[in-house]
Chain A
């Protein structure tokens, strides 16, 4: 993982906070070079390994906040990391840097699509792109699922969410609230399952030190 010695990454480094420009440029580079939903890996390599602005433990802590809240991991992580380094201004700088390249790319794509999207060759290519995107997204979630899903309950909640949307057509908000509430209740504090989950989490954190 990190090529730093464990002690160097675990101790919150005493560091000069980077300048706002430095924050913006670093996130701009990540925003321009990360592809296919793998932004988190790029962020870790830049912020923890190369720049050492965050320790591994801090990075995981920010990840766990990002995962619990709505919003994309890429932008949530930019906001949280930017705030740690330069306060509110740092958050804005990190977020702008992260979003700017993709924004320009997609705005130009949208304009081109409006002009040329109905040409036969373009439509054929876009059908290929869509099929490829299904394969890519499917594979990404397969990998995430393999790492995080454990046991009958998790499998049940996944199935319930899929059936709620694709079979019963309940819509995303209703499914999210209903299945989410039951799932959180199943992991409510002071149950064996929650205690076990907490233990696992702490083991995971300490394995990184």
Chain B
């Protein structure tokens, strides 16, 4: 319970870094959750983050699983609210101002400039995740097959991840 303020602080801060998506914040998430607060080990964070890819809806609901591990059900609520409410208020406010901002010349500049930066942050986050998740030739094979299947087929991504679980359960024991 005494961890609730820390959860609120960490996740509201992380939410401000999610430019272009949740993956951008992953390296900072790892630093804070593993190295600074010792809420999870590196391996545990990778497990929870990956399971989060199977969850429906916004792909960062894994914050609830971190919260529940740290401080039970209240922890899940605090982590989730901290992660979604501050940026939500910002979006709501900017959405209302948008008509006035529509002709602001820097608007296009911000949009065009941040697009490649967001992709770079996501690639960096994916590499950080891969560093912990891709550890031997079996995990390389799983990653490559899922990469190709995502690009070439229309199989539901949640099923692809479940496939990874099955192969892992058989081959990685």
Contact = CB atoms under 8 A, between A and B. Distances in A.
Interface of A: 30-39, 61-62, 64-76, 79-80, 83, 88, 91, 95, 98-99, 101-103, 105-107, 109-111, 113-114, 117, 120-121, 123-145, 148-149, 153-155, 157-162, 164-166, 171-173, 175-176, 179-180, 183-190, 194, 197-198, 201
Nearest to A36: B157
Contact of B95 (A38, A80, A132, A136): A80
A148 B57 contact: no
Q: Which of A37, A106, A130, A159 has the most CB of B within 10 A?
A: A130
Contacts, number: 385
B100 interface: no
A124 B15 CA distance: 30
A130 B68 contact: no
10 contacts: A34-B56, A68-B114, A71-B18, A74-B58, A109-B55, A114-B68, A128-B171, A129-B50, A129-B164, A130-B129
Given A172-B28, A198-B108, A183 B91 contact: no
B51 interface: yes
B17 A173 contact: yes
Interface in B1-38: 15-25, 27-28, 31
B161 A133 contact: yes
Given A71-B18, A157-B116, A171-B31, A31 B56 contact: yes
B131 to A, nearest CB: 8
Interface residues of B, number: 110
B82 interface: no
Given A80-B91, A105-B61, A136-B160, 14 more contacts: A74-B59, A91-B92, A126-B168, A129-B47, A129-B50, A135-B147, A136-B150, A141-B23, A143-B151, A149-B119, A162-B120, A176-B17, A183-B116, A187-B112
Specify the main secondary structure of chain B where it touches its partner. Answer: helix
A124 B172 contact: yes
Contact of B90 (A71, A129, A166): A71
Given A148-B115, A176-B121, A131 B150 contact: no
Contact of A161 (B106, B117, B148): B117
A70 to B, nearest CB: 5
A73 B21 contact: yes
A186 to B, nearest CB: 6
B107 to A, nearest CB: 8
A51 to B, nearest CB: 18
B126 A110 contact: no
Contacts of A154: 115-116
Given A67-B115, A130-B50, A133-B161, A107 B23 contact: no
The 10 closest A-B pairs by CB, nearest first: A128-B168, A161-B120, A132-B164, A36-B157, A135-B146, A110-B65, A71-B87, A189-B105, A102-B57, A139-B150
B76 interface: yes
Contacts of A130: 46-47, 49-50, 129, 132-133, 139, 164
A129 B165 contact: yes
Given A128-B164, A134-B133, A187-B108, A69 B65 contact: no
B19 A176 contact: yes
Contacts of B164: 128-133, 135
B10 to A, nearest CB: 13
B90 A69 contact: yes
A110 B87 contact: no
B133 A127 contact: yes
Given A120-B173, A124-B168, A189-B109, A74 B57 contact: yes
